[in-house]
Amino acid sequence: QVQLVESGGGLVQPGGSLRLSCAASGSIFSSTVMGWYRQAPGKERQLVATMTRAGNTNYADAVKGRFTISRDNAKNTVYLQMNNLQPEDTAVYYCNFNLPAWGIDYWGQGTQVTVSS
């Protein structure tokens, strides 16, 4: 059915920037909420940011002012611009497409982001 493909991860120095992308390979519902989550070693997966089709956003406190989520509905793609990255941001980042009315979630394969001097 729907598959999500992520790209854009990598190794960056503190203070650097990365831009993650996640595109759906199949058709999605217009009501889909798109978002990003991350999981560091030994920790639970945590919400980073979400965005509705209408443009409403929600950010974790740890990334406010540094990360920006955006989406291109025509391309079924969600982006995460990450600025002023810090070592604490090191994690595997997963994109998520959620359909609340149906209780359905689709997840990307994950992309590694490493912030180190």
* Rounded distance between C-alpha atoms, residue 17 and residue 7, angstroms: 14
pLDDT of residue 73: 87
- The string of pLDDT tens digits covering residues 69-80 is 999 988 999 999
pLDDT of residue 41: 92
Q: In 3-state terms, the chain is what percent helix, strand and coil (to 5)? A: 10, 50, 40
- The string of pLDDT tens digits covering residues 83-112 is 999 999 999 999 999 988 888 899 999 999
- The mean pLDDT value of the chain amounts to 94
Neighbouring residues of 103: CB distance < 8 A, sequence distance ≥ 6: none
pLDDT at residue 51 tops 80? yes
Distance from the Cα of residue 114 to its chain's centroid: 15
Sorting pLDDT into bands at 50, 70 and 90, what band is 55? Answer: very high
